[in-house]
Amino acid sequence: MGSIDAPTTTENGTTQSHAAATADGDQKRLASANGAPAEMTLESEATKKRRSSVLPLEVGTRVMCRWRDGKYHPVKVIERRKMHFGGPDDYEYYVHYTEFNRRLDEWVKLEQLDLDSVETVVDEKVEDKVTSLKMTRHQKRKIDETHVEVGHEELDAASLREHEEFTKVKNIATIELGRYEIETWYFSPFPPEYNESLKLYFCEFCLNFMKRKEQLQRHMRKCDLKHPPGDEIYRSGTLSMFEVDGKKNKVYGQNLCYLAKLFLDHKTLYYDVDLFLFYVLCECDDRGCHMVGYFSKELSDMTAIKAEDILTTLQSLELIQYRKGQHVICADPKVLDRHLKAAGRGGLEVDVSKLIWTPYKEQS
């Protein structure tokens, strides 16, 4: 004859049948036999459900991300791309660290993101509108005056948005130049065939760039340059300055602009370098003259230091602000103090007796 299971009473006063209690016990024993407590199994299931509900992350999502310092920082997802080998939800994410300059934007993997901190994607236009309604006219003016970035002054709002959209993801992550591997800061419009190359290899003398190390090694066996292709106009100790005519060395000038754009957000890239002279500073040793920096001058405006040079210098030193359509010098004593302390002693002095240079004259 069959029997009826007697109900048992649990600690919280509820009742359950003996069969149900046995089944529950069997489930817990099974979980323990598999090496995981029942509570951990349930938690794991909850984590999986939460992950599946937020993945893949949408562009615009805000989340905490583990940076190179081992700490978590708030980021915004700028772009995403599918991983070559992975499931439908396996993406890499290009993120902007909202606390830092966008030069630190980078591609990160999913394990670097804290999915428990995911915030709902907010329509930025709506968010801006709500924020602007809460601000007074005085507050708006203050923000307009203090949030104009260096290099943005000549751009209207539409042009600025277009620039940021076009350059939001840097296409080259690192470069190899001579003995150094360098992390890049910004987007540079290299030819389309280089868009998939996360790393480029530069010849440090002629500045030709390649996709693979082997290509660079073959090139270096053939390249006969050991310094920039121009006239040496200054030498003191191990330092030399070369004047390179863009008209005579067009490819070098263009490659130099590509290289510089990786580290300058708002540099205007001129493909026609015929109208420019490039002054390249090098450190020399027995292997050749290695570039450490440069500046350029337009031939149509060879008037020594120009107003734009002074303006750019003052902006970088935070000694000038853009207010009501014009630049205003703001020499804050604390800022001046900081610059004086940082400067310390003077830098390298130019020995004018070693300068071999005459002003440029266009050849007829």
- Number of domains within the chain: 1
Q: How far apart are CA 256 and CA 280, in angstroms?
A: 10
pLDDT grade for 30, boundaries at 50, 70 and 90:
very low
Q: What is the pLDDT of residue 234?
A: 94
What stretches of the chain adopt beta strand conformation (E)? 8-9, 15-16, 62-66, 72-82, 91-97, 106-108, 113-119, 174-177, 180-183, 199-202, 209-210, 231-236, 239-245, 276-285, 288-298, 320-323, 326-329
- The predicted pLDDT at position 159 comes to 64
Structural domain containing residue 64: 53-119
For the stretch 101-122, pLDDT in tens is 888 999 999 999 999 999 866 5
Q: Is residue 185 part of a domain?
A: no
**Position 106 in a domain:** yes
* Residue 317 scores a pLDDT above 70: yes
Asked if residue 74 belongs to a domain, the reply is yes
The answer to whether residue 238 sits within a structural domain is no
Tell me which of 355 and 17 has the higher pLDDT. 355
High-pLDDT (> 90) share of the chain, %: 42
CATH number for the domain spanning 63: value is: 2.30.30.140
Local confidence band at 38 (pLDDT 50, 70, 90 cut-offs): low
Has this prediction a pTM greater than 0.75?
no
| CB neighbour burial string for 247-285, b if at least 16 within 10 angstroms, e if fewer | eebeebbbbbbbbbbbeebbeeeeeebeebbbbbbbebe
The verdict on residue 94 lying in a domain is yes
* Average pLDDT, integer, range 44-61: 76
311 falls within a domain: no
Contact predicate 171/211, CB 8 Å: no
pLDDT tens-digit map of 227-257? 999 999 999 999 999 999 999 999 999 999 9
Tens of pLDDT, residues 153-180: 555 666 667 767 778 899 999 999 999 9
Return the axis-axis angle of helices 38-54 and 18-33, rounded to nearest 10°: 80
